[in-house]
Structure 1
Amino acid sequence: MTQQIDTDVAIIGAGPVGLFAAFELGMLKMRSVLIDALAEIGGQCTALYPEKPIYDIPAHPAIEAGDLIAQLERQIAPFSPARLLGRRVDRLEGAAGGFTLGTDRGDTVRAKAVIVAVGAGAFGPNRPPLEGLPGYEASGAVQYYVRRREDLRGKRIVIAGGGDSAVDWALVLRGIASSIQVVHRRAKFRAAPESAAQLDAAARRGEVEMVIPYQLHALHGANGMLESVEVVDLEGATKRLPADVLLPFFGLSMDLGPIAGWGLALERNHVAVTPSTCQTSVPGIFAIGDVANYPGKLKLILQGFSEAAMAAHAIHPIVYPDVALHFEYSTTKGVPAA
C-alpha cells in the first residue's frame, strides 16, 4: 500500500543513528518519518549482529545490538515517527524547505529537510568465489551473519577472514560450537589488537584452531549439507577441514544507490559534510553516521548520536524560520508531547 506523508524531516535510514535522530528532532518539536530498505528497524545492528555485544555505548558497559535498538525504539515512542520500511528512496526533488521524496513502492514524502543516515549505503556480503556456493547458502551451511548463536550450538564451525567480525565471532562462539577453526592467509589479523590477543590466547588453550596461512578453496558435501571445507596454502597444498557451517567474513560491499546521484559532494563513497552542522553540499540535506565524512571523523555509533543532535539543531531554523531556538537541557524541559 503506497502512502503520502507530509512531515518536517525525512530520515533515510532506520539504524541506531537514524532512530536517535528521530528522538532529537522530537525533542525540538519536529515531526519525522523513518525510511529504510530493510523490513525492520535497526540497520546492521538488527540484520547482521543482533546478539553481538557493543561496549562503547555510554552508561552500558555491554549491550547487545538488538537490545540497543529496542531501547532506542522505546526512546522515540513518545514522538510516534512515521515509518516506511521495506522501501528504497529512488527520487529526491526540491530544495530546503520543500523536498519531495519518492520510493520504489510508489510512496511520496514531502519534507522541509532530509537526513541521510544510511551507514555506508545498501550492504551485502563479499562472497568467496567457491563452486556450488548458492546451494550451501540456501541451506544455511554458509552464513555471512550470525543472527542467533544458539543456532550454531554443537556445530563444527569454520570461520574465514582476518577482520573484527571473524575474530569476534570466533571468541563469542567458544563453548557453543563443538569446534572452531579460523582460516586466514597470514598470521597478522586486522582486528582490534586486544581481540587478536584474546584469539591467540584461546588458540593456545585449544579453544580454537588456527589454520594459517591458508585460503578457502572448495566446499564438499551433498544436497546443500556441508561436510568439509577445503583450504589451500601459498604453495598450493590443500587440506580438508571437517565442517557443518562456514562463516566467511570478508567484509560488506557498499552501495549508496540513488543517493550518489543527488548532487552531494562525495568522498570515496561517503558524503562530505560540514562538521558543526552535518549539512551536505546541498542546503537542507544532512548526513550523519557512517555515511558522513569530515576531518577527524570516527565511525562510532556514539559519534553518530552526537551528529544526530547537531543536525537536528541545524534543521530547526529550516522547519521554524521565525522561531528562535533557545537551547535547554532535557532535565529542564523533559520530553515534549508529540
Structure 2
Amino acid sequence: MAAVIETDVAIIGAGPVGLFAVFECGMLRMKSVVIDALDAVGGQCTALYPEKPIYDIPAHPAIAAADLIGHLEKQIEPFAPTFLLGRRVETLAREDGTIVLGTSAGDTVRCKAVVIAAGAGAFGPNRPPLDGLPGYEASGAVRYLVARREEFRGRRVVIAGGGDSAVDWALSLKDVAAKVTVVHRRPKFRAAPETSAQLEAAAERGEIEMAIPYQLHGLKGDGSRLEAVTLATLKGEERDIPADHLLAFFGLSMELGPIASWGLGLDHNHIRVEPATCATNVDGVFAIGDIATYPGKLKLILQGFSEAAMAAHAIHPRVFPGEALHFEYSTSKGVPAGG
C-alpha cells in the first residue's frame, strides 16, 4: 500500500552502510526512512552471502554477514526507522524547500536530505523465464532471497543455482525443511570449495537431493500455490519435483536505475562526492558506501560506516538550521531517548 511520509532523511539502500546511517542520523535526533529494492534489509549481505564470515569489522575477528545485519538492526531499534522495502526510488523533485521522492510502489517521501547508500546500485533478482512466475512470486512460493529460514520449516524446497547463495541455503535449510532439492545444470558448483564439499557430503548422506544436470522448465500449481517444479535436461528430458517453494539464486542485476537521471556527477556508475561531507553535486543529496567515489576511496564496509557519520553531521544543519551541533562521544551522551 502506497504511503505518504514526512521525515528528516531518506536513505536509499538497506545494506549495512544504509542501516548504520540510520544510527548516525538518530544519534543527531534526525528521523529516517529507508527504501530498498529488495524485500528484506541487508543488501548484498542478505541476498548474496548471509552465512559467509566477514573479517574486517572492528571488534569482530569474524562475523557472519547475516549476524552483522542483525546487530545493525538491533542498534537502530531505538530510532524506529520506517522501512519501504521491495520498491525503487523513481523520482526526485523539490517543493517549498523540501525534497520529494516517489517510489515504484507509489509512495511519496518528503525529506530534508537524501542519502544514497545503494552499494553498486539498485539490486534486482535475475528471474528465470518461467510462465506464470508473477503469481507465484506474489504468494511467496517463488523467492530470490531468504529472510527467515523458519518460514521453510516442514516445507518442500527446490533451490536452483550453482553459486554461494544456493549452496549456503541448501545446507542451512536441510535442517528445517521437509525436503531440499538442488537443481544445477552441471556437477561443478561456483561456491567456496569448503561449502561445496559440505553439500556433496550432505547429498551422500541423503539429506539433500541433487538434480543434476537439470534446469528449471516450468511451475505447476494453481497460479499462486506451488505444487511442483518441472525440470528439464538439455536433451529435453523432463521430471517434476514436488515443491512448496522455489528459491532461485541466479544472481542479482545491479544498475543505478532512475537515480542516473538526477543530474548527479557520475564516474563509471559511481557517484562523485566531497570526501569531507559525502555531498554530491545535487543540493541535499549525499552518497555513501560502495556507490560513492572520491580520491583515495576504499571499498570497505568500515569506510562506509565512517562516511555515514560524516554525511549525518553534514545533514544536521539542513534539519536543524541555526542550531549549533556540539560533537559528543556516544560514551558521554548515550542514545537519545525516543530517537
TM over 0.5: yes
By how many angstroms is 1:181 displaced? 2.4
Is contact 1:45–1:65 with CA below 8 Å preserved after alignment?
Answer: no
1:109 and 2:106 matched: no
Which letter maps to 1:74? E
Partner of 2:91: 90
Farther off after superposition, 140-149 or 172-181: 140-149
Question: What is the SS of the residue equivalent to 1:24?
Answer: helix
Find out whether 1:162 has 2:162 as its counterpart: yes
Structure 1: which 5+ runs fail to align?
none
Q: Is 1:25 aligned with 2:28? A: no
Q: Equivalent residues in 2 for 1:229-248 (5 A)?
A: 229-233=230-234, 236-244=235-243, 245-248=245-248
Amino acid at match of 1:238: E
8 Å Cα contact 2:162-2:184 kept in structure 1: yes
Q: In the alignment, what sits opposite 1:71?
A: 74
Measured after TM superposition, the shift of residue 326 of structure 1 is: 7.0
Of 267-276 and 163-172, deviating more is 267-276
Task: Give unpaired runs (5+ residues) of structure 2.
Answer: none
- Cα deviations across residues 8-37 of structure 1 (Å, max 9, x unaligned)? x4434455433321321343x363432526
Q: Distance in 1 between matches of 2:107 and 2:184?
A: 45
Shift of 1:160: 0.8
TM-score, normalization by structure 1: 0.72
Give the 3-state SS of the residue equivalent to 1:180 in structure 2: strand
| Whole-angstrom distance in 1 between the partners of 2:251 and 2:279 | 29
* Aligned residue number for residue 36 of structure 1: 35
Question: CA offsets per residue over residues 264-296 of structure 1, 9 Å max, x none?
Answer: 133554434455643334465321235435676
Q: 1:35 to 1:330 in 2, by over 3 A?
A: closer
**Letter matched to residue 195 of structure 1:** T
Equivalence for 1:172: 172
Distance in 2 between the 1:200 and 1:74 partners?
40
Q: Map Cα deviations across residues 209-258 of structure 1 (whole Å, 9 max, x no partner).
A: 3334432233445665423421214xx25242523132211123445443
The percent of aligned pairs where both chains have the same amino acid is: 54
CA contact (8 A) 2:10 2:35 kept: no
Within 5 Å, which residues of 2 pair with 1:166-315? 166-220=166-220, 224-233=225-234, 236-244=235-243, 245-267=245-267, 269-273=269-273, 277-282=277-282, 284-293=284-293, 297-298=298-299, 300=301, 302-315=302-315
- The SS at the match of 1:169 is helix
- Paired residues of 1:92 and 1:262 also in contact (CA < 8 A): no
Asked whether the 8 Å contact 1:155–1:177 carries over to 2, the reply is: yes
Q: 1:232 to 1:143 in 2, by over 3 A?
A: same
In the other structure, the counterpart of 1:153 is 153
Distance in 2 (alpha carbons) for counterparts of 1:146 and 1:14? 15
| Number of residue equivalences | 321
**d(CA) in 2 for partners of 1:206, 1:268:** 47
Aligned CA-pair RMSD: 4.2
